[in-house]
């Protein structure tokens, strides 16, 4: 399966600013249209660069038995003829970058050069050339007096061909140049009298017979130059040429319609509506690798035709063909050859019997042409021999120079090898010394490492023991700190109790002092009352009752005083015990502080 390749080639122009392009994209800025194709070739592209990029890969396919078709489409004077034919003939397999030859002569040169350089193979290269003018097929290689009616037919494998079309065998570049020149001369002289616009089809058939595999590969390369897509605009038509242009416009419009139907998947395709589309059936829907070369004029006045060409190329790039190599067995090819030879003999017999004069004239022409071809071939062979002689001389000289250089290089290399061997010996001796020193150093390093390891191990053990001791001491300190904190807490609690007891004692002392004072006052008062009683024994209040009251008060006061004194003694004893306990706690704290200082030191 192969998609139709589309290449764009832009003709130089002074006012090409409206076209912007890169490798695969082209933009028409006036119309704000953008298109994408397989590759775009600018005005600076040479014939050689264009051939190498767009055509050469397909020539290799043709030599493997594939069919390839190149279709040029574009408006008049946009570069179709220049692309196909060029402006200079090809010459003896020698094509330079400056050569202006088109893709047709370059293809033939490439094919013949490849086949001649391939070695032990049998091959044949045939050329056919015809034009379609006003829906009539014209053989551009046939003699005018032997022309037959030409008809487009379809082969058993779907290939399209022109029945009775003349095929010319070419064996070298001079023969090819002559055949192409005759065909172009007939096309541009005889056909121009009938019409200014026509389609031309140039076909190169390559037959390669492989005796080893008993097979034959038949490849075909077809070059189609379509008439300008704008015949009416540039032909200066008169009433006598309107029908010609209508036929051309019909064939091009039919081609556009066929491609549109194929792109859209329409069931019915009108191939037979024109000879052009009928012949191109196998190229756009068959066993062919097809390339569309769209030529553009970069002039601003041609922008409409440029858009028309780009739209046509956009449709064409969506077409897909199913391709396979044309490989025949040798017996099939032999049968075809016998058939063609029989047809040629039959044609000669018919011509000799019907018109001996034309037959003799044709024989004379063919003999003269044969002598001319033989002369050109001989000249060509002589030039090749001359070139080969000088090439052989140059090769021999180069070979001798290479041998001398090789001998000198060998001698120099031998010296270098001896020098390298000596250096290798010295390096080996140095390496052995280095290896011995390395062994000694290794032993010393291992001994040092072992001693260091033992010392470090002992130091680690010592540090570990010290660390354990420190940990234990730290744990003891933490324990003593806890005890200290506990004692401090208890001490603070006892201090608070002591302060509270002292406060209570002070209260009791004050209360005792107050009670003593009251007792003294009461005692003095009682004494005075007793004295008064004694003086006035016969008072209105009975003495004995008043005395009893005083004695009751005294007893009650004594009881309170005794109770207060008892409480005071109890508090005093408690205070003494608390003082002893506090003294003990203080001594314990002092001892802990002393031990902490000793441990920290």
Lowest average pLDDT, out of 322-326, 399-403, 418-422, 488-492, goes to 488-492
Give the pLDDT band (50/70/90) at residue 41. Answer: very high
Contacts (Cβ under 8 Å, ≥6 apart) of 13:
43, 297, 298, 299
Say whether pLDDT at 574 is over 80. no
Q: How far is 278 from 284, CA to CA, in rounded Å?
A: 10
Q: What is the pLDDT of residue 513?
A: 75
Tokens of 376: 């050109």
Q: What is the DSSP letter of 291?
A: E
Say whether pLDDT at 476 is over 90. no
The top-scoring range by mean pLDDT among 24-28, 255-259, 291-295 is 291-295
Q: What is the pLDDT of residue 403?
A: 85
Q: Which tens digits make up the pLDDT trace of 306-332?
A: 999 999 999 999 999 889 988 876 566
Nearest to 321 by CA among 282, 270, 285, 269: 285
Say whether pLDDT at 339 is over 60. yes
Tokens of 133: 């003018």
Q: What is the pLDDT of residue 83?
A: 94
| Sign, Cα dihedral of 389, 391, 392, 398 | positive
Q: How far is 316 from 293, CA to CA, in rounded Å?
A: 10
CA distances from 119 to 56, 115, 169, 322, 390 (A): 21, 8, 20, 32, 22
* Helices 356-535 + 330-354 axis angle, to 10: 140
Query: Which has the higher per-residue pLDDT, 377 or 166?
Result: 166
The top-scoring range by mean pLDDT among 356-365, 390-399, 534-543 is 390-399
Average pLDDT over all residues of the chain: 79
Residues 179, 127 contacting (CB under 8 angstroms): yes
Tokens of 323: 């391709």
Mean pLDDT of 565-582: 68
Residues 293, 104 contacting (CB under 8 angstroms): no
Say whether pLDDT at 132 is over 70. yes
Element holding 235 (H helix, E strand) = none
Say whether pLDDT at 36 is over 90. yes
Measured in Å, how far apart are the chain's first and last C-alpha atoms? 99
Nearest to 79 by CA among 115, 105, 103, 55: 103
Give the pLDDT band (50/70/90) at residue 382. Answer: low
Say whether pLDDT at 449 is over 60. yes
Nearest to 569 by CA among 509, 515, 500, 510: 509
Residues 215, 329 contacting (CB under 8 angstroms): yes
Q: What is the pLDDT of residue 237?
A: 40
Q: How many CB atoms lie within 10 A of CB 57?
A: 13
Residue 232: exposed, middle, or buried by beta-carbon count in 10 A (0-12, 13-18, 19+)?
A: middle
Q: What is the pLDDT of residue 239?
A: 43
Query: Which has the higher per-residue pLDDT, 190 or 43?
Result: 43
Q: How far is 318 from 265, CA to CA, in rounded Å?
A: 11
Q: The whole model's pTM is what?
A: 0.57
Q: What is the pLDDT of residue 161?
A: 92
Q: Which tens digits make up the pLDDT trace of 43-79?
A: 999 999 999 999 999 999 999 999 999 999 999 888 9
Q: How far is 397 from 410, CA to CA, in rounded Å?
A: 20
Say whether pLDDT at 232 is over 60. no
Nearest to 281 by CA among 162, 191, 189: 162
Q: What is the pLDDT of residue 194?
A: 63
Q: What is the pLDDT of residue 52?
A: 94
Q: What is the pLDDT of residue 235?
A: 40
Q: How far is 572 from 563, CA to CA, in rounded Å?
A: 14
Tokens of 212: 């080893």
Say whether pLDDT at 224 is over 80. yes
Q: What is the pLDDT of residue 233?
A: 42
Query: Strand (E) positions, 136-234?
Result: 136-139, 151-154, 160-163, 168-170, 199-210, 215-225
Pairing mode of beta strands 320-321, 136-139 = unpaired
Element holding 455 (H helix, E strand) = helix 356-535
Q: How far is 421 from 140, CA to CA, in rounded Å?
A: 76
| Sign, Cα dihedral of 453, 458, 461, 462 | negative
Give the pLDDT band (50/70/90) at residue 563. Answer: confident
Mean pLDDT of 336-341: 61
H-helix segments, 321-355: 330-354
Lowest average pLDDT, out of 72-76, 227-231, 449-453, goes to 227-231
Q: How far is 570 from 556, CA to CA, in rounded Å?
A: 21
Say whether pLDDT at 381 is over 60. no
Say whether pLDDT at 546 is over 50. yes
Q: What is the pLDDT of residue 493?
A: 80
H-helix segments, 134-228: 173-194
What percentage of the chain reaches a pLDDT higher than 90? 26
Q: What is the pLDDT of residue 216?
A: 83
Q: How far is 67 from 285, CA to CA, in rounded Å?
A: 12
Say whether pLDDT at 91 is over 80. no
Give the pLDDT band (50/70/90) at residue 363. Answer: low
Domains of the chain, each with CATH number or no CATH: 2-7+50-331 (3.40.850.10), 475-600 (1.10.287)
Residues 25, 16 contacting (CB under 8 angstroms): no
Q: How many CB atoms lie within 10 A of CB 50?
A: 20
């Amino acid at each position: 399966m192969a998609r139709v390749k589309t290449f764009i080639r832009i003709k130089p122009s002074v006012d090409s600013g409206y076209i912007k392009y890169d490798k695969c994209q082209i933009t028409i800025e006036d119309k704000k249209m953008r298109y994408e194709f397989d590759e775009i070739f600018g005005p600076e592209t040479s014939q050689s660069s264009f051939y190498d990029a767009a055509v050469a890969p397909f020539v290799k396919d043709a030599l493997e038995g594939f069919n390839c078709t190149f279709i040029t489409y574009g408006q008049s004077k946009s570069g179709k003829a220049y692309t196909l034919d060029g402006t200079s003939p090809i010459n003896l397999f020698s094509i330079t970058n400056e050569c202006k030859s088109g893709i047709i002569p370059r293809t033939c040169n490439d094919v013949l050069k490849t086949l001649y350089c391939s070695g032990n193979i049998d091959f044949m290269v045939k050329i056919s050339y015809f034009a379609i003018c006003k829906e009539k097929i014209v053989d551009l290689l046939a003699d005018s007096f032997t022309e037959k009616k030409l008809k487009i037919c379809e082969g058993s494998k779907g290939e399209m061909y022109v029945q009775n079309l003349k095929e010319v065998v070419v064996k070298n570049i001079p023969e090819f140049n002559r055949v192409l020149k005759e065909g172009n001369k007939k096309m541009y002289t005889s056909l121009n009298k009938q019409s200014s616009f026509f389609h031309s089809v140039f076909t190169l058939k390559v037959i390669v017979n492989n005796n080893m595999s008993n097979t034959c590969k038949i490849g075909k390369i077809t070059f189609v130059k379509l008439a300008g897509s704008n015949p009416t605009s540039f032909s200066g038509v008169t009433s006598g040429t309107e029908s010609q242009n209508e036929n051309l416009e019909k064939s091009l419009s039919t081609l556009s319609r066929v491609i549109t139907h194929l792109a859209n998947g329409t069931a019915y395709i009108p191939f037979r509506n024109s000879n052009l589309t009928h012949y191109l059936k196998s190229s756009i829907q068959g066993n062919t690798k097809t390339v569309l070369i769209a030529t553009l004029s970069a002039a601003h006045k041609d922008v409409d035709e440029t858009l028309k060409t780009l739209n046509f190329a956009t449709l064409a790039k969506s077409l897909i063909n199913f391709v396979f190599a044309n490989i025949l067995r040798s017996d099939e090819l032999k049968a075809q050859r016998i058939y063609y030879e029989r047809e040629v003999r039959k044609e000669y017999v018919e011509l000799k019997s019907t018109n001996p004069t034309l037959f003799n004239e044709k024989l004379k022409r063919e003999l003269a042409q044969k002598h001319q071809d033989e002369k050109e071939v001989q000249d060509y062979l002589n030039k090749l021999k001359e070139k080969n002689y000088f090439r052989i001389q140059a090769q021999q000289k180069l070979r001798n120079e290479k041998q001398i250089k090789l001998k000198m290089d060998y001698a120099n290399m031998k010296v270098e090898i001896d020098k390298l061997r000596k250096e290798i010996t010295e390096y080996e001796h140095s390496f052995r010394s280095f290896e011995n020193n390395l062994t000694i150093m290794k032993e010393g390093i291992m001994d040092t490492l072992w001693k260091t390891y033992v010392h470090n191990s002992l130091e680690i053990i010592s540090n570990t023991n010290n660390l354990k001791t420190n940990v234990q001491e730290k744990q003891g300190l933490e324990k003593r700190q806890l005890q200290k904190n506990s004692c401090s807490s208890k001490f603070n609690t006892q201090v608070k109790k002591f302060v509270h007891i002292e406060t209570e004692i002070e209260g009791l002392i004050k209360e005792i002092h107050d009670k003593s004072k009251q007792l003294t006052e009461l005692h003095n008062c009682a004494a005075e009352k007793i004295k008064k009683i004694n003086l006035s024994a016969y008072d209105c209040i009975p003495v004995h009752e008043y005395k009893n009251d005083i004695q009751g008060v005294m007893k009650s006061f004594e009881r309170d005083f005794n109770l207060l004194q008892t409480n005071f003694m109890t508090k005093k004893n408690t205070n003494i015990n608390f003082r002893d306990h506090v003294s003990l706690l203080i001594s314990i704290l002092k001892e802990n502080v002393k031990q902490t200082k000793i441990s920290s030191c």
